[in-house]
Amino acid sequence: MTDNYLKGWLVKANTDIKVMDTLLRSSSEDLLTDVICFHAQQAIEKFLKSYLISKEVVNKKTHNLEFLQDKCSEFLPQVKNFDFSILSNYSIDVRYGEDFSLPSDKEALEAYDLAVKVKMFILEKLELTEKDLIL
């Protein structure tokens, strides 16, 4: 991979995955479910934007996964197989008091699993491996 801009997006997306890995391995009995869900949403957003960058599509400033999914599906119809509805509210809503909600442990694990699946899917479509995400 030679495009540093694209690589930067992919590395940042992978950092969100690493944060979730760390949180899920913590010895705490209580998962920080809102933080895990936020990073899952962020990782997916960045992986989808990375794919669009690879297709030279200018990224609109948005956190809306469904919008990004629609844009990606113009090149990659299989992306429609992912259901991002569980993450729709995690980009901003879980971060502020007035709209704060605490996802369950199950929701956090589902969000994590979805983010990892999207990562693997996008990397495959970009013909990249985990090694390509090292700076």
SS3 assignment, position 118: helix
pLDDT at 95: 55
Q: Are 111 and 40 in contact (CB under 8 A)?
A: yes
pLDDT at 109: 94
- pLDDT tens digits in sequence order for the chain, 135 residues long: 458 999 999 999 999 999 999 999 986 777 899 999 999 999 999 999 999 999 999 777 888 999 999 999 999 999 999 999 888 777 665 555 566 678 888 999 999 999 999 999 999 999 999 999 987
Q: What's the CATH fold of domain 4-130?
A: Four Helix Bundle (Hemerythrin (Met), subunit A) (1.20.120)
SS3 assignment, position 133: helix
Task: Using the Cα atoms of residue 55, residue 75, residue 81 and residue 94 in order, give the sign of their dihedral.
Answer: positive
User: Which amino acid is located at 91 in the chain?
Assistant: S
